[in-house]
Structure 1
Amino acid sequence: MQKIVIAIDGYSGCGKSSTAKAVANKLGYTYIDSGAMYRAATLFFLNQGVDLTNKEELIRQIQNLQISFKKNPHTGKQETYLNGINVEEPIRSMEVSSFVSEVSKIKEVREELVSRQQLMGEQKGVVMDGRDIGTVVFPYAELKVFMTADLEIRAKRRQKELQDKGQKVTLEDIIRNLSERDEIDSNRKESPLYRASDAIEIDTSFLEFEEQVNQVVDLAKEKIGHYNKTI
């Protein structure tokens, strides 16, 4: 049976990553966390003290950036590795969250990471989430989903996620961070966040997690069935 590419875009805190992971698991597909790739790049630049306005330095340093994903043998969860080191926890910190949109809008960074993402998806059978997956990375993806949700609901979800990891952050700070990221992501010059014309929008504000996962899985199965009938 032929496989498809599933692109999930949307705002931070809508449940894109967790949904994409669950969808990939249910379909037996590979999950690619594009957001983690940008977060890993941000962490790398912060640790190296890279001047984000120095394009020559950025281009040189990004060649030293190796990002990979591995499943934790104990939890079964996919985790992010930066140059061979597990960085799943530090890339989710508020410090990285405060800089990731600035890093993501840099043309040279986006071009390099998009190229790597496209290579990952060449064999199909992948689910990737981010902000420009259906518009830039995989514009010809067989299924495109755009996820959205109320800002305060997104902030409460992010706060719980951070609390579960032992990080105490006020709801006000998270709302401010998400609002700023929405503004930067939607208005940046390079690959701005917007809904592709052929993307199916899902508002997750009042959906249970399993409901939003099942919606995407049902859409995927419909696309897979249609795709296999036409080949």
Structure 2
Amino acid sequence: MTLNIITIDGPSGSGKGTVSLQLASKLGWHMLDSGALYRVLGLAAQRHGIAFNEEQKITQLARNLDIQFLIDDTTGEVEPIFEGENLSPYIRTDEAGQAASQVAVIESVREALLERQRNFYQSPGLVADGRDMGTIVFPEAPVKIFLTASAECRAERRYKQLKNKGADANMRALLDSIKTRDERDRTRLVAPLVPARGAFVVDSSHLTIPQVLTQVLEFAAKSLPEIGIG
């Protein structure tokens, strides 16, 4: 039986979160924002006073992570609720991204979160956004996307986001942070950030979100024509 799963992997700032949300909305499917799981876990470790080198404690925290995801009816965005608190204002910061990258290199943590992520699959289908959705979590997915962009483009996007929110931002620091995280994610021994076998690679550096979405839909239609993608 073919599972209705589309995985969208790629580095931070490539646009995969926005594309995943719009794709899930268009298809009427469920969505998994796996990056939010790791960001929440990183923040949870900090809030509970657990250092990132205390692997056993972080793994235990991952196994019992009190989290649920809700869709905001107004914005359409995914809201992570941790221990009853909406962490949306905190998980998209660069600090949360770095924390996520540090807990994600721990093999026992990834194992603890693996089954939880797989349980997100429900009918009629799932769009899974992350870094190892197509390689590790859903290797049987019929449609696998790898969305990327240059580090410079991703830093510029992040800079504009922060400025639009009235926050201070330093372009050089953002670029350095992105390059550091990219290197960590690509070279980690556990589930490194690489395109899955058979993945459709899209470079969004000079594409709009609608243009990326069109390319993804056209590729998906080749494997899942029965659900009317296109």
User: Is the TM-score greater than 0.5?
Assistant: yes
Deviation at 1:100, TM superposition (A): 1.7
**Larger deviation: 77-86 or 117-126?**
117-126
| Aligned match of 2:204 | 204
Matching of residues 142-157 of structure 1 within 5 Å: 142-157=142-157
Per-residue CA distance 1:60-95 (angstroms, 9 max, x = gap): 323331221112233332211112210011011222
**Which residue is equivalent to 2:5?**
5
CA contact (8 A) 1:3 1:124 kept: no
Determine the structure 2 residue equivalent to 1:180: 180
The secondary structure found in structure 2 opposite 1:120 is coil
Question: Helix, strand or coil: the match of 2:201?
Answer: strand
Aligned to 1:20: 20
> CA-atom RMSD, angstroms?
1.9
Partner residue, 1:114: 114
Deviation at 1:197, TM superposition (A): 2.1
User: What amino acid maps onto 1:166 in structure 2?
Assistant: G
Judging changes above 3 Å, is the alpha-carbon distance between structure 1 residues 165 and 64 closer, same or farther for their aligned structure 2 residues?
farther
Q: In structure 2, what is the Cα distance between the partners aligned to 1:123 and 1:84? A: 27
Question: Are the counterparts in 1 of residues 132 and 191 from structure 2 also a CA contact under 8 Å?
Answer: yes
In 2, Cα distance between equivalents of 1:161 and 1:133:
26
- Which residue in 1 is equivalent to 2:85? 85
Q: Which amino acid aligns with 2:137?
A: V
Q: Secondary structure at the match of 1:179?
A: helix
Aligned residues: 227
What is the match of residue 225 of structure 1? 225
Contact 1:30 1:127 in 2 (8 A): yes
Matches within 5 A, 1:37-116: 37-116=37-116
The answer (yes or no) to whether the contact 2:3–2:125 under 8 Å persists in 1 is yes
SS at match of 1:201: strand
Q: Could you tell me the percent identity over the aligned residues? A: 36
Q: Distance in 2 between matches of 1:92 and 1:43?
A: 11
Deviates more, 1:213-222 or 1:201-210: 213-222
Q: Say if 1:118 and 1:3 are closer, same or farther in 2 by CA, change over 3 A.
A: closer
Q: Distance in 2 between matches of 1:77 and 1:58?
A: 27
**1:134 is matched with which residue?**
134
Residue 25 of structure 1: CA displacement?
A: 0.7
* 2:214 aligned with 1:214: yes
Paired residue secondary structure (1:111): helix
8 Å Cα contact 2:200/2:219 also seen in 1: no
- Residues 70 and 78, structure 1, Cα contact 8 Å, conserved in 2: yes
**Partners of 1:164 and 1:104 in 2: how far apart?**
29
**Cα displacement string for residues 104-136 of structure 1 (whole angstroms, at most 9, x for unaligned residues):** 111121111222111112646000111111100
Matched to 2:216, the amino acid is V
Moved more, 110-119 or 120-129: 120-129
* Structure 2: distance between partners of 1:127 and 1:209: 16
AA at the equivalent of 1:24:
A
Unmatched 5+ residue regions in structure 1? none
Equivalent residues of 2:10, 2:16 under 8 A apart? yes
Unmatched tracts of structure 2, length 5 or more: none
Runs of 4+ in 1 over 6 A off after TM superposition: none
